[in-house]
Structure 1
Amino acid sequence: MENFRQPRDIAQVLLSVLFLALMIVACLWIVRPFILGFAWAGTVVVATWPVLLYLQRLLWGRRSLAVLVMTLLLVLLFVIPIALLVNSIVDGSGPLIHAVTGGEMTLPALDWLNGVPLVGAKIYAGWHNLLDMGGTAIMAKLRPYIGTTTTWFVGQAAHIGRFMMHCALMLLFSALLYWRGEQVALGIRHFACRLAAQRGDAAVLLAAQAIRAVALGVVVTALVQAVLGGIGLAVTGVPYATLLTVVMLLCCLAQLGPLLVLVPAIIWLYWSGDTTPGTVLLVWSCVVGMLDNVIRPMLIRMGADLPLILILSGVIGGLIAFGMIGLFIGPVLLAVSWRLFSAWVQEVPAPDNEPVAIPEALARTKGEEA
């Protein structure tokens, strides 16, 4: 019996693919305003899902009460502080931008160096020699770049309306995901299995681990250190404490630590003669700086360890691409991609440790075939 194979209709295949592509693009275009909010909510829900289950057990097994408590906690501990922080940056950044761009910011004279024993006078003389040789000209050349950078960072926070819209969407989607989390997770795993069978299911689980690692080991640690450091700056009377707190949050998210902001603030307090607040901030900075070594290992064990350069690239790239929300979404996207890529590479054994022998073996194989 002969089996006649039907010829493939190329036009039908092309039109089917084109129709599916148009439908996918149209759907993405429609949900485009909600993508960032949903991604943010997914990160929050995946990271805090064990807390929801714990609250549900405490509240007599009532999922509705647990969802209500978690939503209120997100509002009180996350949305309101960030909104107040962004609003304070917008209100208090005007004098700083004017000082930077208007030429009022100059290099300091550092007269206090004369009081430092042994080396103070030499450092003071060297500093003023640098100023005499063109320190003012150097500052004049750097001022436009400093002003542009400062204005850009403040401009990212100035989109407070869009930011609050994403916060509202994050709360709405978080409540929905808390309410139907098991069904949503099962649907995502089912779709992944349809695409790549068991590998697809494993990819979803690895992505969840990466999200939890970033949210707990990076974001939570950075928020705790930045808030405590900001409290220390405000109590000791350091000017622009709100703006410095945001810079400290960026440094902590980028794994650079809060001391890049706190140490110059301590030096400024001693320089201005406020030795008591400077000593208080010095002791407080030691506590805040050591929190990283206490909180991070405990939280990282709940997720997965990630490379430093990946987190740094995610923070900076996310801020440039998505604004303030990118501080949280950028590292998550790179972490998920890195975990999936790493799992895919490790499916095959590592190459031989002696790369010199590989070309020789290949040459022998070609010679035998010839």
Structure 2
Amino acid sequence: MKHMPKHRDLPDITLSLLFICLMSIMCLWILKPFIISFTWGSMIVITTWPLFLKIQRVLWKKRLLAVLVMALTLILVFIIPIILLINSVIKNSSLLMIWLNTRHFESPQLYWLNTIPIIGQKFYLYYHDLVDASGKTLLAQLQPYAGRTTSFVLSQAKHLGRFMIHLGLMLTSSVCLYWYGDKIGENIQCFAVTVSPKYGQSVLVLGIQAIRAVSCAIVITGCAQGLLGGIGLSISGVPFATILTVVMIFSCLVQLGSLIVLIPAIIWLYWTGDNTGGTVLLIWSVLLSALETVMRSFLIKKGIDLPIILILVGIIGGLLSFGMIGLFIGPVVLSVSYRFILSWIKKYPIFYDNDNILIDQSKMKK
């Protein structure tokens, strides 16, 4: 048998590297339609894996029963609320159109502008001149854009259909990850240790901690923010407050925020002349936005011991750079890099050993 030479020449190494890069790019290209769904499924499984193990122990250590319970839970948490929300919007759309058609909308007077010192009266006069003289001209300029409503509705329907497909793929990938979680966890650990024998496994633990902390913070903060926003809508007298609260909770969970509902509600209150309700809801929205950032950062810091400024930078930077999935990527990357730099500066190991990361969660640092 002929043995491979110990020293490979440069063309051989270059061609091997090009082949590996080409195959990696092709694999990513093929998996591109499934990356978002698989990533969300992975985040859900990593976050709920300790709960899954407890359910499995309760159900006589039957993996199939535990997977079925978790699948039903995901359907109840993600699929059914979205279907109910869409059904509720469709049912109430006719009532909303009737309500809009039976009301006579007029431009708000904005008398409160006169109470602003120095510049208030000038703004008030300029506003009424604009409405009285240029209102019809402005409507005439906006009228040609009304024809784009159909294409906008179709595009939103397309996005909704794509979102439902991603939900189905997320559910499927989550079920597969629950079923093969042990084997996948062992393979990931072997890969991490192969790449970095000293710190690989500990980096994996740190990444899992960051993902779980961010996931719990997003769910708790989103639900709390949506419910508090709904309370503000009810206090201010905004119609359809229940439906808007459900929309707001969902938008907070997908990281669109509560302002996507609160800002139109504030504008509507001022437009109808309810200045008191509009001001109350405006102050409530500002406080709610500040509470969101503080609460999310506090919960993440409670789940993983990192400086709060690092967590904030990771959340905001990851969200701006990678979108919603950046909420997880940002804190994970910064936390691992921070620990590595700290270890290098202070010359002591900051990671800890942990066996069977996905199998036995009892040893993980809380």
Contact persistence 1:269–1:275 (CA under 8 A): yes
Give the drift of 1:115.
7.8
Distance 1:234 1:82, change over 3 A: farther
SS in 2 for 1:73: helix
Look up the match of 2:359.
Answer: none
The answer for the alignment partner of 1:103 in structure 2 is: none
Aligned match of 1:39: 39
Instruction: Output the CA distance in 1 between the equivalents of 2:199 and 2:17.
Output: 25
CA distance in 2, matches of 1:162, 1:199: 39
Residues 38 and 170 of structure 1 are in contact (CA less than 8 Å); yes or no, is this contact kept in structure 2? yes
Change (3 A) 1:315 1:140: farther
Query: Which residue of 329, 333, 351 maps to 2:329?
Result: 333
Deviation for aligned residue 1:70 = 1.5
Q: Distance in 2 between matches of 1:168 and 1:289?
A: 32
- Provide the rounded CA distance (Å) in 2 between the counterparts of 1:333 and 1:226: 24
TM-score normalised per structure 1: 0.64
List aligned pairs for 1:185-204, cutoff 5 A: 185-204=185-204
Task: Measure the CA separation in 2 of the matches of 1:340 and 1:158.
Answer: 38
- TM-score when scaled to structure 2? 0.65
Name the SS of the counterpart of 1:110 in structure 2: coil
Residue deviations 1:102-150, cap 9 Å, x none? xxxxx97322x348996699464453256579788889999999x99xx
Q: Residues 47 and 215 of structure 1 are in contact (CA less than 8 Å); yes or no, is this contact kept in structure 2?
A: yes
Shift in Å, 1:247: 7.2
Which of 345, 348, 360 does residue 349 from structure 1 map onto?
345
* Larger deviation, residues 223-232 vs 66-75: 223-232
How far apart, CA to CA, are the structure 2 residues paired with 1:337 and 1:200? 14
- Cα offset for 1:47? 1.5
Kindly tell me: are residues 331 and 33 of structure 1, through their superposed partners in 2, closer, same or farther at Cα, counting changes over 3 Å?
same
1:207-260 residue CA offsets vs partner (Å, 9 max, x unmatched): 2122122211134422442366468759955479878976786678769x6367
Aligned match of 1:54: 54
Q: Which structure 2 residue ranges, 5 or more long, are not aligned? A: 97-104, 347-366
Alignment partner of 1:110 out of 102, 108, 111:
108
- The answer to whether the Cα contact below 8 Å between 1:233 and 1:281 also exists between their aligned partners in 2 is yes
Partner Cα distance (1:311, 1:156) in 2? 27
Deviations 1:263-289 (A, max 9, x none): 662563475367999899799979977
Post-superposition shift, 1:39? 0.9
Moved more, 269-278 or 257-266: 269-278
For 2:153 and 2:319, locate their aligned partners in 1 and report how far apart those are by CA, in whole Å: 13
CA distance in 2, matches of 1:144, 1:198: 65
CA distance in 2, matches of 1:152, 1:215: 32
Q: State the alpha-carbon separation in 2 of the partners of residues 315 and 136 from structure 1.
A: 41
What RMSD, in angstroms, separates the aligned Cα atoms of the two structures? 5.1
Give SS of 1:347's match: helix
Q: Letter of the aligned partner of 2:319 in structure 1?
A: V
The aligned residue for residue 316 of structure 2 is 312
In structure 1, the partner of 2:212 is 212
Aligned equivalents of 1:143, 1:216: Cα separation in 2: 46
Aligned to 1:302: 303
**Counterparts of 1:287 and 1:344 in 2: how far apart (Å)?**
37
Structure 2 residue aligned with 1:25? 25
> 1-side partners of 2:231 and 2:161: how far apart?
26
Whole-Å Cα distance in 2 between the matches of residues 344 and 87 of structure 1?
50
Give the direction of change, closer, same or farther, for the CA distance of 1:295–1:61 in structure 2 (3 Å limit). farther
Partner SS state of residue 24, structure 1: helix
Is the Cα–Cα contact under 8 Å of residues 110 and 124 in structure 1 kept in the other structure? no
- Number of paired residues? 325
1:78-100: CA deviation from partner (whole Å, max 9, x where unpaired): 1332455578889999xx9xxxx
Shift of the 154–330 alpha-carbon distance from structure 1 to 2, 3 Å rule, reads farther
Partner Cα distance (1:32, 1:289) in 2: 34
- 2-structure distance, mates of 1:245, 1:189: 40
Residue 337 and residue 246 in structure 1: after superposition, are their counterparts in 2 closer, same or farther (change >3 A)?
A: farther
Distance 2:281 2:298 in 1: 25
Letter in 2 for 1:184: I
Shift of 1:262: 3.0
Distance 2:212 2:297 in 1: 12
Residues 81 and 15 of structure 1: is their aligned pair in 2 closer, same or farther, counting only changes over 3 Å?
Answer: same
The letter of the residue matching 2:330 is L
Amino acid at match of 1:297: F
Q: Is the 8 A contact 1:249 1:258 kept in 2?
A: no
Contact 1:38 1:173 in 2 (8 A): yes
Structure 1: which amino acid aligns with 2:20? Answer: L
Supply the AA of the counterpart residue of 2:335. R
| C-alpha separation in 2, matches of 1:264 and 1:164 | 26
Residue 162 of structure 1 corresponds to 162
Unpaired runs of 5+ residues, structure 1, are: 97-106, 320-326, 351-370
**Residue aligned with 2:345, SS:** coil
Shift of 1:194: 0.5
Match of 1:265 in 2: 265
Question: Partners of 1:7 and 1:288 in 2: how far apart?
Answer: 64
Using a 3 Å threshold, how does the CA distance of structure 1 residues 317 and 233 change in structure 2: closer, same or farther? farther
